[in-house]
């Protein structure tokens, strides 16, 4: 039986990763481990920089009316 689905799991620590690997091996489920980050590094850096800027008090509040007017 051939299944056309791919599952992506995101363990949050080494313990979870090891349990998942053991589970897959027990049930003879093929899997691969990749250390690729699906996000563009420049984009991540830009978001983190903006987040830090906001934490430092840079930025401004926008009313819902001002926000709505952006799309008109």
Give ∠ CA 36-42-47 in degrees, rounded to 5: 105
pLDDT grade for 53, boundaries at 50, 70 and 90: very high
Give pLDDT, residue 69. 92
Q: How many residues does the structure list for the chain?
A: 72
Residue 33: name the closest of 47, 49, 45, 16 by CA: 16
The pLDDT tens digits of the residues spanning 5-47 come to: 888 898 999 999 999 999 999 999 999 998 877 788 899 999 9
Q: What is the SS3 assignment for 36?
A: coil
Q: Could you tell me how many helices (H) and strands (E) the chain has, helices first?
A: 3, 0
CA distance between the termini of the chain: 53
pTM given for the model:
0.47
């Amino acid at each position: 039986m051939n299944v056309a689905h791919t599952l992506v799991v995101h363990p949050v620590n080494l313990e979870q990763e090891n349990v998942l690997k053991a589970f897959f091996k027990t049930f003879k489920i093929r899997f691969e481990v990749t250390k690729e980050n699906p996000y563009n590094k420049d984009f991540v850096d830009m978001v983190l920089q903006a987040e830090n800027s906001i934490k430092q008090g840079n930025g401004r509040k926008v009313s819902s009316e001002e926000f709505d007017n952006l799309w008109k």
